[in-house]
Amino acid sequence: MTIFIQHDTDLKIDTSNLTIHEQHLIERLWLPLESHKDQFDSASTGVFPSPDFGYFMLAERYWRASLCIYFAGFGKAFIEAGAGFLEPWLFNCRHAFELYTKGLFLYAAWYEDLTKDPLRRGYKAEIEKIETEHSPAKIYDDYKRNLKTVLEKWDPDEIGEVPEPDRMILSQHAEIILSELTEADPKSFRFRYPSLIHRNPGNKDTIHKMQEMSWVWDAEKLFPETGLPKEAGVMFEHIRVLNSLHDLFRELSNIADYHDANYSYIDELQDYAYEW
């Protein structure tokens, strides 16, 4: 094995086998990495059991990863100016929001279970079936509809205090952002692959069309709320996009925190009931 990075008393890196893109990236990020070398420790993957099945935790990680890519990219850690990192940045953002909406959907499912069995635990380390939809907007709409149905059946004497509906749904502004992000990448393919599948007119055959790089400015090809480009090759104001996506993140994060607080509250009530 070639030792790419060495960490003993000092932090060292072998640059002899790096590509020019790798070397430039590492040179840009080396100083903060080296300054925290005393904090290096072992690593592990995984999440903790919960009503959202760990989706909230992983969503937050993907969001932070998107910020890392964004700031590294516009901090000139990528050689390509204004390119080369936008796809992984936006893919990580989109994936974070898909995970958040799936966690919301699973929380509504647990609340539904509680209306049938108030002692149904939210500790989920395994589930039989999981939502396979990849459209964040659709998953959120299903969650919102299911949540309304569940709260209408909620019995506070059996389950506990009724959750506050307004704290579990997005604002209209955030819903539009989620809708535009979904429309920009309906099936999570656009920022993940260099091409998109198109159907040939008049037959069932499909063809992969490359998403070609360009620097076209066309305001008509930008979504009005987020400023996201509707297709590849269109210039856009990345700061506006990041601010919009951050608005959505904050609302989803707050909703997730509220659900987690409900979980702690109901779990405590269930523990008390089991003691009796």
**What is the DSSP annotation of 78-90?**
SSSTT-SSHHHHH
Confidence grade of residue 31 (pLDDT, cut at 50, 70, 90): confident
**What integer is the mean pLDDT of 159-167?**
96
DSSP letter at 230 equals S
**What integer is the mean pLDDT of 159-177?**
97
**What integer is the mean pLDDT of 115-121?**
95
Report the Cα 191 to chain-centroid distance in Å.
Answer: 13
Confidence grade of residue 178 (pLDDT, cut at 50, 70, 90): very high
Confidence grade of residue 40 (pLDDT, cut at 50, 70, 90): confident
- The rounded distance, in Å, linking the Cα atoms of 105 and 133 is 11
**What integer is the mean pLDDT of 201-215?**
87
Is pLDDT of 4 > 80? no
**β pairing state of 195-199 and 11-13:** unpaired
pTM > 0.75: yes or no:
yes
Please state which of the ranges 79-88, 125-134, 155-164, 190-199 shows the lowest mean pLDDT. 125-134
Is pLDDT of 132 > 80? no
Confidence grade of residue 2 (pLDDT, cut at 50, 70, 90): low
What angle is formed at CA 262 by the lines to CA 257 and CA 263, rounded to 5 degrees? 95
* φ, ψ of residue 5 in degrees (nearest 5): -130, 135
**What integer is the mean pLDDT of 172-182?**
98
Decide: 56 and 249 in contact? Cβ < 8 Å.
no
pLDDT tens digits, residue range 98-111? 999 999 999 999 99
- The rounded distance, in Å, linking the Cα atoms of 227 and 235 is 10
- The rounded distance, in Å, linking the Cα atoms of 244 and 254 is 16
Decide: 56 and 100 in contact? Cβ < 8 Å.
yes
- The rounded distance, in Å, linking the Cα atoms of 91 and 55 is 16
**What integer is the mean pLDDT of 214-228?**
97
Nearest of 46, 51, 60, 132 to residue 95 by alpha carbon:
60
Q: Which helix (H) or strand (E) holds 246?
A: helix 238-275
* pLDDT at position 11: 81
Confidence grade of residue 276 (pLDDT, cut at 50, 70, 90): low
Is pLDDT of 129 > 90? no
pLDDT tens digits, residue range 246-259? 999 999 999 999 99
